[in-house]
């Protein structure tokens, strides 16, 4: 099954990126802690990260990949590349103008994004303005990188695009280890590193496209009918993805009024983004071109692809979410509690992580269900559901934080609730339109997956507290204890899945055997290494 193989490729490189991302964040926590200039950098870093999620993993890919794939399938490579060149030239013009305008009016932008800094900590506000100006060129690079990634993904070459984020983490890690003293502060070094990494990712994807015979040509920017079609599909997707990013932005805005909360949210977000990237983004990235092409041939087969994607994602995500709730404090302590990162900060971050983890299956389902609309050239429906989700978050988040007295935990709780609203609406309307009908296998296995995950989590809680002196002790003890908890939890969950028949070894072998024997995949389609 090509979907499994493609997901594994994306997942492998995403794993490498996320592991290096953890190393980067561990070093950030060690040298910067949770209060002060680190908060300014986190706000500045939100811009490229939000844009990457919105474009590279969102609206642009959702609109561009089906159109490019359809042209490859129906009209051939030359026509598809002409379309890509037209989009590239127009997109570049728009983003250069956008970047210049935002650079000029950055103070006004940051008044909206970080009002707490502006009102109570003006020195931090000024630093955030400068750091955001330094990171902003990354946006331009990410747009072009997203396009080249979509082209490679459409030809089932997933590795190069999935590996690109590794460069960002390598640059920042090297900077944290060796270049901190060369700059005004460590945060200034990190901001410069983000911009440099953007250029590196652009060069890497450009070279990969050249090797694949997919080199882009800069033409005179014109709003051609093909580009208009893309914009029509992309605008709802931008709004849809933008609603998700607004949910994140709401948390950042509220966090700037509360000392240290921007950091607590950032570090907890980094942890739960690990399984989200490994599972949701990996499967969603591979699923979109697979669904787009399968729908051209066989609607029933496309339904099966959607069901297996949901089953696979929940088989991997539900236990991850349950484990993060059960052992959130050991995870945060082992990963971040060094140097300037205090025990109190670890406790606060762990509570935020547990709240985010309750929404992890929903975050992944959004990534897996959305291609069911995008592959049918429907980007408006997910937009409507995302707006509904955003309204829930914008109402619930400040309500929980202040009038209801939940405090900063209201931010991750509201974000998780909003994610479940979004995922629920996507699933409901796919069902209502007949685009997705759960088969007997999926309906039978989902409850068993949930039960296996809950039983595993119930065992992890006493096991973690029994190892308290280890995961809060010396570094080597922390690493050993976390490895024991993670490996033990995985083994237990695997055994429970077999006992409860939530999955089987024969299914895995069968899928892998089908993946190796897929007749429609010639040798030339193998992804780049």
Secondary structure element (H or E) that encloses residue 496, with its range:
helix 475-500
Span 226-235, pLDDT tens digits? 888 888 877 7
Question: Is residue 393 in a domain?
Answer: yes
Going by pLDDT thresholds of 50, 70 and 90, the confidence category of residue 516 is very low
Q: What is the pLDDT of residue 227?
A: 87
Overall domain count for the chain: 1
- CA distance linking residue 65 with residue 81, whole number of Å: 12
* 3-state secondary structure labels for all residues of 377-395: CCCHHHHHHHHHHHHHHHH
Within a domain: residue 445?
Answer: yes
Instruction: Quickly list DSSP for 339-361.
Output: TT--HHHHHHHHHHHHHHHTTHH
Q: How far apart are CA 300 and CA 405, in angstroms?
A: 50
DSSP 408: G
Reported as a pLDDT band with limits 50, 70 and 90, residue 17 is confident
- 39 has a pLDDT exceeding 70: yes
The pLDDT, as a whole number, for residue 144 is 86
The CA distance from 56 to 150, in Å, is 8
CB 227 within 8 A of CB 90: yes
Does residue 160 sit within a domain? yes
Q: Give residue-wise pLDDT tens across range 503-514.
A: 766 654 444 444
Residue 524 lies in a domain: no
Question: Is the CB of residue 322 less than 8 Å from the CB of residue 450?
Answer: no
- Give the range of the structural domain holding residue 488, as residue numbers without chain letter: 2-518
| Residue 72 within a domain | yes
Structure letter (DSSP) for residue 276: I
pTM attached to this predicted model: 0.78
CA distances from 506 to 95, 170, 310, 501, 512 (A): 50, 39, 19, 11, 10
**pLDDT tens-digit readout, 398-448:** 999 999 989 999 999 999 999 999 999 999 999 999 999 999 999 999 999
Q: What mean pLDDT do residues 146-162 have?
A: 82
- What's the pLDDT score for residue 447? 96
Residue at 95 is within a domain: yes
pLDDT digits (tens, 9 = 90+) for 244-293: 677 777 888 898 898 889 999 989 988 887 787 667 666 765 676 677 76
Asked if the structure places residue 525 within a domain, the reply is no
Q: Return the beta strands (E) in 428-501 as ranges.
A: none
In-domain check, residue 526 = no
Q: What radius of gyration, in Å, describes the C-alpha atoms of the chain?
A: 22
| 236-239 contact pairs (CB < 8 A, 24+) | 236/379, 236/380, 236/382, 236/383, 237/58, 237/59, 237/60, 237/62, 237/63, 237/374, 237/379, 237/382, 237/383, 238/54, 238/58, 238/59, 239/383, 239/386, 239/387
- Output 3 or 343, whichever has higher pLDDT: 343
**Percent of the chain whose pLDDT exceeds 90:** 43
- Using the predicted structure, report yes or no on whether residue 521 has a pLDDT greater than 60: no
């Amino acid at each position: 099954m090509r979907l499994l193989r493609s997901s594994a490729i994306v997942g492998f490189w995403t794993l490498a990126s996320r592991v290096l991302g953890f190393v980067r964040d561990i070093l950030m926590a060690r040298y910067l802690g949770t209060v002060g200039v680190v908060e300014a950098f986190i706000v500045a870093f939100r811009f490229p990260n939000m844009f990457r999620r919105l474009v590279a993993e969102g609206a642009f890919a959702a609109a561009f990949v089906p159109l490019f794939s359809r042209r490859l399938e129906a009209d051939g490579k030359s026509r598809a590349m002409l379309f890509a060149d037209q989009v590239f030239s127009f997109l570049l013009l728009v983003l250069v103008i956008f970047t210049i305008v935002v650079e000029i009016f950055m103070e006004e932008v940051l008044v909206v994004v970080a009002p707490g800094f502006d009102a109570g900590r003006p020195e931090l506000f000024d630093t955030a303005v400068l750091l955001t100006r330094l990171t902003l060129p990354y946006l331009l690079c990410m747009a072009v990188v997203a396009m080249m990634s979509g082209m490679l993904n459409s030809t089932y070459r997933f590795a190069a695009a999935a590996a690109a984020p590794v460069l960002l983490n390598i640059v920042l890690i090297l900077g944290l280890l060796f270049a901190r003293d060369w700059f005004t502060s460590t945060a200034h070094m990190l901001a410069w590193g983000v911009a440099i990494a953007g250029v590196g990712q652009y060069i890497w994807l450009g070279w990969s496209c050249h090797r694949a015979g997919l080199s882009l040509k800069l033409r005179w920017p014109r709003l051609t009918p093909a580009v208009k079609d893309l914009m029509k599909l992309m605008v709802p997707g931008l709004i849809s993805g933008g609603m998700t990013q607004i949910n994140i932005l709401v948390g950042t805005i509220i966090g700037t009024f509360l000392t240290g909360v921007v950091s607590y949210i950032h570090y907890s977000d980094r942890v739960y983004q690990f399984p989200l990237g490994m599972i949701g983004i990996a499967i969603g990235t591979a699923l979109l071109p697979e669904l787009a092409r399968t729908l051209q041939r066989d609607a029933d087969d496309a339904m099966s692809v959607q069901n297996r994607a949901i089953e696979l994602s929940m088989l991997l995500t539900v236990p991850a979410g349950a484990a993060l709730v059960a052992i959130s404090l050991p995870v945060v302590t082992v990963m971040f509690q060094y140097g300037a990162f205090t025990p109190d900060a670890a406790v606060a971050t762990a509570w935020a992580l547990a709240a985010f983890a309750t929404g992890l299956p929903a975050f992944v389902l959004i990534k897996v269900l959305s291609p069911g609309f995008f592959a049918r050239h429907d980007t408006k429906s997910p937009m409507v559901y995302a707006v509904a989700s955003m309204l829930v978050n914008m109402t619930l988040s400040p309500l929980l934080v202040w009038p209801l007295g939940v405090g900063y935990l209201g931010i991750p709780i509201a974000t998780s609730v909003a994610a479940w609203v979004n995922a629920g609406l996507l699933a409901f309307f796919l069902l209502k339109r007949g685009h997705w009908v759960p088969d007997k296998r999926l309906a039978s296995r989902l409850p068993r997956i949930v039960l296996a995950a809950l039983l595993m989590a119930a065992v992890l809680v006493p096991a973690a507290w029994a190892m308290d002196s280890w995961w809060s002790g010396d570094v080597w003890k922390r690493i050993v204890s976390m490895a024991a908890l993670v490996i033990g939890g995985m083994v237990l969950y695997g055994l429970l899945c077999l006992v409860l028949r939530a999955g089987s070894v024969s299914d895995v072998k069968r899928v892998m055997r089908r993946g190796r024997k897929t007749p429609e995949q010639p040798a030339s389609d193998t992804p780049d290494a």
